[in-house]
Amino acid sequence: MKIFPKISNILDKILQVTVFTLITGMIITVTLQIVARVFFTALSWTEEMSRYLLVWSSFLGASLAYHRGSHIAVTFLTERLSPATKKKVSLVAVLFSLFFFILGFWYGIEMIKMQVFQVSPSLNLPMKDVYLVIPISFGFMVFFAIENLLNAIVGEDNVR
């Protein structure tokens, strides 16, 4: 049970560095696109690259936000519940989240299977590589949801 927090912290650090790198790459790409359009000829690949960097940083950022409990939440009802009821509601919410994340992981893999032969127009990247972020991010969320589920069952307060 103590292995989950250690792995979770390592994954958090990896996701943090990865999302930071992707957003930095997106900022550089968009800046390059603006400079090239104003002073030179527009670069054909920058718009596509910035779009893919945005998609990857959004999905991985959502995984990071789920782990940190940073997603938007409506808590005015749960704040009024007794601790025992609050624990049960938290457990149900984690179970629903886990079910959704497993579905997202599964259908992300199915989406990749449909994109095997397609390539992107400007960068000639295999589209399966672009869609790979869906099962990766949902895989992270499945792991974090299992950690939250175990914490909810044990009764720890750090359920996110």
pLDDT tens digits along 52-68: 999 999 999 999 999 99
- What is the band of 40 on the pLDDT scale with cuts at 50, 70, 90? confident
Q: Which of 62-76, 98-112, 130-144 bottoms out in mean pLDDT, i.e. has the lowest?
A: 62-76
pTM of the model: 0.87
Amino acid at 67: H
Amino acid at 96: F
User: Which residue matches tokens 């624990």?
Assistant: 87
Q: What is the pLDDT of residues 114-143, one digit of tens each?
A: 888 899 888 989 999 999 999 999 999 999
- Rounded-to-integer distance, Cα 54 and Cα 27, Å: 10
Beta bridge partners of 119: 126
* Six-digit token string for 34: 């603006």
DSSP secondary structure, 81-94, as one string: S-HHHHHHHHHHHH
Q: In residues, how long is the chain?
A: 160
